[in-house]
């Protein structure tokens, strides 16, 4: 994944420099510590220097505007006026975060004079610059602490992770192959609305694009996929070897398609007729979709573009991602059972996935081996990207805990989740949130980062936590 480009511009009141020897040096040392640690977080740091007055602010704004940034940090390490930094705040279009980190947890009150105090006085200017942003109609985001403050660096780290995700989304290529599952209107997407908020591109594909690649797959390629299957899956009794080899050929064709089209996600669906090749290809995805999803290319059934993008986002935030829908409620155990058929993200499963042969894929054409597993026990996040009636996107999240217990054995990805409340209550609130009936489930608690991402992208946000 490409590193985020984080711009850094510092400021301080120029009148101070000739008044207090050593102040500028201390401010620069603080700023250098911040820039260095940003680099250690995986950011590509672009330094725009120090702004001491209004002309320097205007010059910094001109340089920043053409720098392809994902985020701009304004370092407020001592007091500065809002006027001198106003050109940057006004003219730069990327998200801005105000950062005030003093040199140490506290001043040495017994020895400090005015010059030494001013190296700790960023908190004096922070509200003023916040007011300027608000009056410009821009969000106010601020981090305050000291240079070794892990709480503050945790927040900055979240901004870096989210900036990395926005950069990925801006260039992401999403494949849509086939057609919408008939009647699933909730997952129908207005492509312009999706791309207007998230960026990227949707490549509209035909199943014929897969067919020509399927026919070109060699036996050596099939054998290589089968070896991967043998190394990464376990087979339930009766797993169909012929179907495994067929799905391995489809998997190799999918690899070619994803590479040829440079896809970051793929949403697919097709019914067709039992007599045609497209019907057969449409039944051959579980293995290939799982292998792709496990490599960070979410590949999901039922034409679910937004769920695939949700999985891409949770993967970028470090949680992986598995396609999910409601299965049932266990009121005795107080859990919600969630999962889906077709594909899994093996990087976050609780055990080696099982290949189980099914005579029929429910609600779809054909049958064959399907993937059976669950997400590893511990904290999990549900993340749905809803599309509202006004065309706006809404990020909907809920945090819970994956817990142990019985699973049905029908070739699905099943996870039992405790949301800390009555499972019926959680289901009611989730149903009223605007979520589609598919979404991404990821490991870890990612709601705060997803909320931050929604803010940077301009999407609506709701946390469902009854």
Each residue's pLDDT tens digit, 124-164: 999 999 999 999 999 999 999 999 999 999 999 999 999 99
The pTM of this model reads 0.95
| 364 has pLDDT over 90 | no
User: Which one, of 23, 40, 34, 44, lies nearest residue 74 by Cα?
Assistant: 34
Q: 435 pLDDT exceeds 90? A: yes
Find the mean pLDDT for residues 44-64.
97
Angle at which helix 150-171 crosses helix 305-316, to 10 degrees, equals: 140
Question: For residues 289 and 447, what is the distance between their CA atoms, to the nearest angstrom?
Answer: 26
Helix (H) or strand (E) holding 329: strand 322-330
Instruction: Quote the percentage of the chain above a pLDDT of 70.
Output: 100
On the question of pLDDT at 363 being above 90, the answer is: no
Ordered by start, the domain boundaries in the chain are 5-170, 172-463
> Chain-wide mean pLDDT for the chain?
96
Q: Which CATH number fits domain 5-170: 3.40.50.10940, 3.40.109.10, 3.90.660.10, 2.130.10.10?
A: 3.40.50.10940
Tokens of 108: 């040495």
Residue 112 is encoded by which pair of tokens? Answer: 């400090």
Q: What percentage of the chain reaches a pLDDT higher than 90?
A: 93
**Mean pLDDT computed over 203-213:** 98
Give the other-Cβ count within 10 Å of 339's Cβ. Answer: 25
Q: What is the predicted pLDDT for the residue at 342?
A: 84
413 CB-near residues (< 8 Å, 6+ apart): 322, 323, 324, 339, 340, 341, 343, 344, 349, 371, 372, 373, 374, 375
Band of the pLDDT at 275, cuts 50, 70, 90? confident
Please report the pLDDT score of residue 343 as a whole number.
87
CA distances from 2 to 5, 36, 93 (A): 9, 19, 21
Query: Cα 8 vs. chain centroid, distance in angstroms?
Result: 24
Distance, CA of 41 to CA of 34 (rounded, Å): 11
Q: What is the pLDDT of residue 351?
A: 87
Domains 5-170 and 172-463 share a fold: no
Of 3.30.1060, 1.20.120, 3.20.14, 2.60.40, which CATH number belongs to 172-463?
A: 3.20.14
Q: What is the pLDDT of residues 158-188, one digit of tens each?
A: 999 999 999 999 999 999 999 999 999 999 9
**So what's the pLDDT on residue 168?**
97
Tell me what the mean pLDDT of segment 56-81 comes to.
96
What is the spatial distance between Cα 137 and Cα 415, in angstroms, rounded to a whole number?
A: 43
Q: Please tell me the number of Cα atoms within 13 Å of 103 on its side-chain side.
A: 17
Q: What is the dihedral of CA 38, 42, 43, 49, to 10 degrees?
A: 40
Structure tokens of 85?
């930094």
Name 207's Cβ contacts closer than 8 Å, sequence gap at least 6.
Answer: 177, 178, 270, 272, 278, 281, 282
């Amino acid at each position: 994944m490409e590193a985020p480009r984080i711009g850094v511009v510092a400021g301080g009141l120029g009148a101070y420099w000739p008044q207090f020897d050593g102040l500028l040096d201390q401010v620069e040392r603080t700023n250098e510590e911040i820039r260095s640690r940003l680099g250690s977080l995986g950011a590509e740091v672009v330094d725009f220097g120090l702004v001491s007055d209004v002309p320097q602010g205007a010059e910094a704004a001109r340089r920043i505007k053409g720098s392809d940034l994902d985020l701009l940090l304004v370092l407020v390490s001592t007091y500065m006026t809002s006027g001198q930094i106003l050109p940057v705040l006004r003219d730069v279009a990327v998200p801005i975060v105000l950062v005030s980190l003093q040199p140490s947890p506290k001043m040495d009150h017994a020895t400090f004079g005015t010059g030494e105090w001013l190296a700790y006085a960023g908190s004096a200017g922070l509200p003023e610059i916040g007011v300027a942003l608000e009056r410009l109609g821009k969000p106010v985001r601020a981090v305050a602490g000291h240079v070794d403050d892990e709480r503050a660096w945790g927040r900055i780290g979240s901004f870096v992770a989210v900036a990395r995700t926005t950069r990925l989304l801006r260039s992401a290529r999403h494949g849509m192959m086939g057609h919408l599952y008939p009647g699933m209107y909730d997952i129908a997407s207005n492509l312009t609305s999706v791309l207007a908020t998230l960026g990227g591109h949707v490549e509209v594909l035909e199943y014929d694009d897969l067919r020509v690649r399927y026919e070109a797959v060699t036996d050596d390629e099939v054998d290589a996929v089968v070896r991967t299957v043998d190394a990464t899956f376990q087979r339930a009794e009766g797993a169909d070897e012929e179907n495994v080899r067929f799905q391995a050929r489809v998997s190799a064709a999918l690899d070619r398609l994803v590479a040829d089209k440079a896809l970051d996600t793929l949403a697919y669906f097709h019914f067709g007729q039992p007599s045609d090749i497209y019907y057969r290809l449409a039944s051959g995805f579980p293995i290939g979709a799982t292998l792709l999803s496990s490599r960070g290319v979410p590949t999901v059934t039922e034409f679910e573009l937004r769920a695939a993008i949700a999985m891409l986002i949770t993967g970028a935030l470090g949680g992986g991602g598995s396609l999910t829908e409601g299965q049932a409620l266990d009121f005795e155990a107080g859990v919600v059972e969630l999962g889906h058929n077709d594909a899994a993200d093996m990087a976050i499963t609780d055990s080696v996935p099982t290949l189980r042969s099914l005579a029929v894929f429910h609600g779809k054409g054909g049958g064959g081996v399907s993937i059976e597993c669950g997400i590893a026990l511990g904290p999990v996040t549900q993340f749905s990207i809803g599309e509202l009636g006004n065309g706006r996107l809404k990020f909907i999240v809920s945090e819970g805990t994956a817990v142990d217990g019985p699973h049905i054995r029908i070739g699905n990805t099943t996870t039992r989740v405790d949301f800390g409340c009555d499972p019926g209550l959680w289901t009611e609130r989730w149903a009223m949130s605007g979520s589609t009936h598919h979404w991404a489930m990821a490991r870890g608690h990612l709601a705060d980062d997803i909320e931050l991402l929604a803010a940077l992208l301009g999407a609506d946000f709701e946390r469902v936590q009854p």
